[in-house]
A and B are shown apart, each in its own frame.
Chain A
Amino acid sequence: MKLKSHIPLLVAIGALICLPLFIHNPYYIHLTETILIYTILLFGLDIVVGYIGQVSLGHAALFGIGSYTAGVLFIHFGLPIWASIPASIVVTAIFGGILALPALKVIGPYLAMVTLAFGTIAQILINEMTWLTEGPLGIKLSKPSFMGAAMTEAEFFWVVAAITILALIVVDRFVKSQMGRAFEALRDSPIACDCMGVSVYRFKVIAFVISAGFAGLAGCLYAYSEQYISPNTYNNELAVLFLLGIIMGGRKSRLGAAIGAAIIVLLPKLLDDINLFRIVASIIAIVVVVGASIALSKKVTTFRRVAIPLTGVVGLAIFSFWLNSIADWRLSIFGFMILLVVYYLQNGIVGFAKGFYQLISGKTKTTRGGAVESADDSVSFISAVANKNIGAELLSVDSVLMQFGGLKALNNVSLSIKRGTIHGLIGPNGSGKSTMMNVLTGIYIPTAGTVLYAGESVVGKTSSDIALSGIARTFQNVQLFGEMTAIQNIMVGLHHTFKSNIVEIALHLPRYKQEEAEAHARALALLKFVGLEDLANEEARNLPYGKQRLLEIARALALDPELLLLDEPAAGLTAPDIKELLRIIRKIRDSGITFILIEHHMDVVMSVCDTVSVLDFGQKIAEGKPAEVQADEKVIHAYLGT
């Protein structure tokens, strides 16, 4: 079964290896080699673009740094390729770390600008540091030697092909490990990521470092492949081209990276030759027309929606025959094709093909993890809290002040939470309940006051450190990792159970495999506990709202918390769902976990809470047993109503 799904890949690899045996023209071998090298780079760029969701325009520069590391080692020290490959990877990875530093402060378009600046600076430095890089003259290299003689184009091609396959395996293992999950989690919800004990700060840097490592490897191979490198190659236009490769091929896909690489290498060549262009434009037109007619006949689209792309591709094909010379039109056609692809295939070619196949074949979403497994009942999913000192103080909040400008969102609030109890926190909307949650989990740093958890101050600690010390939470406006499946969401919560490093992941050493298997089993058990076992492989964003809330609780439990903060868990739930929620809360409490529960459904508060505190305008206006609070005049006036 597993082997069968790998057959297309194995055939592709086989074809790749045999290529030089059938095609003797060194030009085509070299062209394919370039595609492979770009593919390696795009594997790395995809980690930044597809997985952590940032735009990098600095990858041309990183590619250049890789090339120049190899070039400098070659002309100054005469080092062989076997030494310069690891050196290029390490040096470029270090620069990737430097590039990542601003990524911690700025995001989105601002980060793109920063990486663009990085690219420009790197290119200028390579140009100016003549003593090291030979400046604008560039560096000439010769092909690495093998058994005393310089390698032929075909021999070097095999080296590149082998390294590409290795890179494919390694990158695939990375993104499927706890690290890949951390990357996706920080993309989908940075705040929840930190609150699961996965430091956004750390993993952004790691993503950039790994990504740069691949760029360095690609750069090194490129230097030997071209045998000549000069600063102009690594310009910002190349950076945009790399980005286009990912966008057109399809993000979060190794096949997408390969297709993207092929497009960016071949498209300029294609536009050089009018006959080739005519053939390809016709093939594209036929493919699109056939695809569209299938879609129309199956009634999965309307004629209006396909009219423009159809006219576009057919028009392009006709235009290609009308043209006599392509030279003047090259850039316009290039731009037009990019426009069509980016506008109509927003998920890239691979993403579109997958969606199209599902639509046509009528298969519902193929799940990422395969068939739904059943949970092993013997797996203990809630680790019973060791210190069962029920009744002792677990969390003490003392006169906390949280000021935003002139607004005191929390004004001298004190709380004392006892171990093993459920402490309700109620109050009108805007009274400071969620602010309190954010103070307790390190998202806000209080203006004044102390927060002691198990005797230690949490003020000033990062959210991920607080999470790892045993405080887990859910969010009022659900913060799941939307593009990840239900089980992967929980496995992000289990991130703290992984000790294996990148070498162990890359080589699939026993420790990593065991950790992965254990986490998987526990995640399934947690899903079963909240009744979501059947939805394990469904993307979180596709779950109904009520189920999303339950999934958040399961994910929080994965942290092995001692204190669990639930922010309006019953909001949006119907009566039967609420009964189920109450059952789950009670069961968790019985294992010794302490709760703080923010809730507006008074029957939930009344039926499970041991103590209730009431906030209004940032101040505590009442506290006591649920029944006492419910009878309190001030509470009725401010919150309950008549």
Chain B
Amino acid sequence: MLSIKNLEAGYGKVKVLHGISIDVPKGQVITLIGSNGAGKTTTMRAITGMIKPTGGEVTLGGEKIDGYDSHKIARLGLAHSPEGRRVFTTMSVNDNLLLGAFPRFTGSRPKGDIKNDLEHALEMFPRLKERRNQLAGTLSGGEQQMLAMARAVMLNPEIILLDEPSMGLAPILVEEVFKIISNLKAQGVTMLLVEQFAAAALKVADYGYVLENGKIATHGPASKLQNDPAVKAAYLGGAGGH
């Protein structure tokens, strides 16, 4: 579905990514883990077109998308649930979700049954259903995270990019967020998951990539990475996790 080959990107002359390759096959959950400053957020930004890659290529469903603007990439079916949530705080939960489906209204994505999908999304996130008419800014951090994810679902996307969905959430909510991710997976949604909480991410993912200093240090099936002693020591260590 999404394929990244030898991607290079950075800020000005400072190169952050030195040629990374990631493959996200349809219907699978792929996770990208790594320490602070390894380049995870830069990878996300390069994929979504927020920064322009300086080398390599990104293809979505066979179409080359590197160099495209973010809104164009979104219209091609790449939904992004950004780090730090970024919901539209002065709009209601309902309106936030409908905005997620915006390209479907304008005809740049297949329309489908938006109303039905909205109800379906609210069923999937019961906390949001209770608050559908509330302003998004009045939601708690956990609820905003759910909203960002639900909004991504509303695009009826080919793939969802989840950037740090568990950041700053109470343990009980982290559990809920990962439950939702596995629900989405069960429905066949393709996802690329960036997460600091590597143990949980590897549990839900099919395949994992470990990013170190802007390069892929190792990759393999998630079950294998979970037991890899080097990965364990660096990312799953005693003090990590919840």
Contacts and interface: CB of A to CB of B under 8 A. Distances in A.
Interface in B204-237: 234-237
Given A429-B140, A604-B239, A547 B168 contact: no
A469 B212 CA distance: 43
Most buried by A among B143, B171, B174, B241: B171
Contacts of A477: 84
Interface string B20-46: 000000000000001111000100000
B177 to A, nearest CB: 11
Interface string A537-549: 0000010111100
B237 A544 contact: no
B12 A358 contact: yes
Interface residues of B, number: 37
Given A359-B13, A365-B12, A602-B242, A429 B170 contact: yes
Contact of B167 (A365, A544, A572, A578): A572
A427 B141 CA distance: 12
Most buried by B among A430, A477, A574: A574
Given A579-B237, A579-B239, A574 B167 contact: no
A640 B172 contact: yes
Contact of A641 (B12, B175, B236): B175
Given A430-B141, A544-B36, A572-B168, A358 B236 contact: no
A577 B168 contact: no
B59 to A, nearest CB: 20
Interface string B158-171: 00000010011111
Given A603-B239, A641-B172, A572 B36 contact: yes
Interface in A580-618: 582, 600-604, 607
A429 B141 CA distance: 6
Contacts of A547: 36-37
Contact of B237 (A542, A576, A641): A576
B142 A428 contact: yes
A476 interface: yes
Contacts of B238: 575, 579, 603
Contacts of A362: 13
A535 B124 CA distance: 44
Nearest to B164: A572
Contacts of A572: 36, 164, 167-168, 196
A634 B170 CA distance: 15
A638 B167 contact: no
Interface string A397-423: 000000000000000000000000000
Contact of B240 (A430, A574, A638, A642): A574
Contact of B170 (A427, A544, A576): A427
B9 interface: no
Contacts of A577: 35-36
A641 B171 contact: yes
Contacts of A571: 167-168
Contacts of B240: 574-575, 578, 603
Contacts of B79: none
A477 B167 CA distance: 11
B180 interface: no
Counting contact residues on chain A (CB < 8 A from B), the size range is: 35 or more
Contacts of A363: 13
Contacts of A427: 170
A558 B202 CA distance: 39
A417 B142 CA distance: 28
A75 B69 CA distance: 64
A575 B84 contact: no
A506 B235 CA distance: 51
A607 B13 CA distance: 42
Given A600-B242, A604-B239, A428 B170 contact: yes
A639 B172 contact: yes
Contacts of B237: 575-576, 579
Contacts of B242: 600-603
A562 interface: no
Contacts of B170: 426-429, 600, 639
A576 B237 CA distance: 7
B234 to A, nearest CB: 6
Contacts of A378: none
B173 interface: yes
B235 A575 contact: yes
A639 B171 contact: yes
Interface string A357-398: 011001111000000000000000000000000000000000
A640 B168 contact: no
A276 interface: no
A573 interface: yes
Contacts of A573: 36, 196
Of B14, B170, B171, most buried by chain A (CB within 10 Å of CB) is B170
Interface in A332-358: 355, 358
A509 B88 CA distance: 52
Contacts of B37: 544, 546-547
Given A602-B171, A639-B172, A640-B172, A364 B14 contact: yes
A428 B235 contact: no
A516 interface: no
B122 to A, nearest CB: 20
B146 to A, nearest CB: 11
A429 B168 contact: yes
Contact of A575 (B167, B176, B239): B239
Contacts of A640: 171-172
B13 A574 contact: no
A427 B84 CA distance: 19
Contacts of A641: 171-172, 175-176
B198 interface: yes
A206 B241 CA distance: 48
Contacts of B139: 430
Interface string B60-92: 000000000000000000000000100000000
Contacts of B174: 600
A640 B164 CA distance: 20
B35 A574 contact: yes
Contacts of A429: 140-143, 168-170, 173
Contacts of B196: 572-574
B108 to A, nearest CB: 22
A303 to B, nearest CB: 13
Given A362-B13, A428-B142, A602-B242, A576 B172 contact: no
A620 to B, nearest CB: 16
Contact of B239 (A428, A430, A582): A582
Nearest to A477: B84
12 contacts: A363-B13, A429-B142, A429-B143, A429-B173, A572-B164, A574-B196, A575-B198, A600-B170, A600-B174, A602-B242, A603-B239, A641-B172
Given A430-B143, A603-B242, 13 more contacts: A544-B37, A546-B35, A568-B168, A571-B167, A574-B198, A575-B235, A575-B237, A577-B35, A577-B36, A578-B240, A579-B237, A579-B239, A642-B175
- The 10 A-B pairs with the shortest beta carbon distances in the complex, nearest first, are A575-B240, A430-B140, A546-B36, A544-B37, A641-B172, A429-B141, A429-B140, A575-B237, A544-B36, A429-B142
